[in-house]
Structure 1
């Protein structure tokens, strides 16, 4: 690999792709529970835009294992209020009890944070969409 090759993808945009066995069911979940509407759709896929970034739900015959966070939303608002509103809309949050990570009423207080975010920690919560994809919501703690 040459020096120029090391920057091969540095200018590329990152685009999340989430599988959906039933796009109509997924569309309803994202609209009714999360308040999101597709900005574009094609046969077999729905494109969503949040905060200047995109993600796609695509028709898939495979199923998501849902054993890890597949996509995360980051909020600068109060995570507790966001979780409460999503619960009011019928979203079910995961309870986690693992070494170094425990939720209380669906929210985990996480020590440290990703180096580039300039925060001292993060609050996090996880839920599954209608297709079994595990999604997270984080709030940097400054």
Structure 2
């Protein structure tokens, strides 16, 4: 059905300039296309297109909107922490974090919010 198709991750933001600062300076990703008329910026992270666009619904999702798979969760968490990122702690049935990290079957994960309140995740396969 979707032969030759490709997907794009889409993240709503309420302040595009502030979001660009977060994605470019904190996460260190470079825009591949700036669409001023559409008030959006396209990035690519690990081969995945990531569209960040202006919306009145930014930060309203209570779930993870984008996950980044890393080879070194601890090092990436430390680097992001230096840049002011605060990792979330959760204590739900089936999900508990310790110092921001959940030890899950086959992976270690940590969650944080972007500048707009969207929840992002870092995952490392174990």
TM-score range, shorter chain: over 0.9
Query: Could you tell me how far 1:135 is from its partner in structure 2?
Result: 0.5
Aligned length: 124
Cα RMSD (Å) of the superposition?
A: 1.1
Choose which of 100, 103, 121 in structure 2 pairs with 1:106: 100
Equivalent in the alignment of 1:127: 112
Question: Is residue 29 of structure 1 aligned with residue 29 of structure 2?
Answer: no
Aligned structure 1 segments of 4 or more residues deviating by more than 6 angstroms: none
C-alpha deviations, 1:40-69, integer Å up to 9, x for none?
101210000111111010111223323111
Gaps of 5+ in 1: 1-7, 112-120
Q: 2:9 is matched with which residue: 5, 11, 16?
A: 16
Deviations, residues 77-122 of structure 1 (Å, cap 9, x unaligned): x2111101100111111111111111111111002xxxxxxxxx10
Is 1:40 aligned to 2:33, yes or no? yes
TM-score normalised according to structure 2 size: 0.93
The higher radius of gyration belongs to 1
Gaps of 5+ in 2: none
Tell me how far apart the structure 2 counterparts of residues 134 and 68 of structure 1 sit (CA, whole Å). 6
Could you state the TM-score of these two structures normalised by the residue count of structure 1? 0.83
Partner of 2:80: 86
Farther-moved stretch of structure 1 (40-49 vs 30-39): 30-39
SS of the residue 1:139 aligns to? strand
Deviates more, 1:9-18 or 1:87-96: 9-18
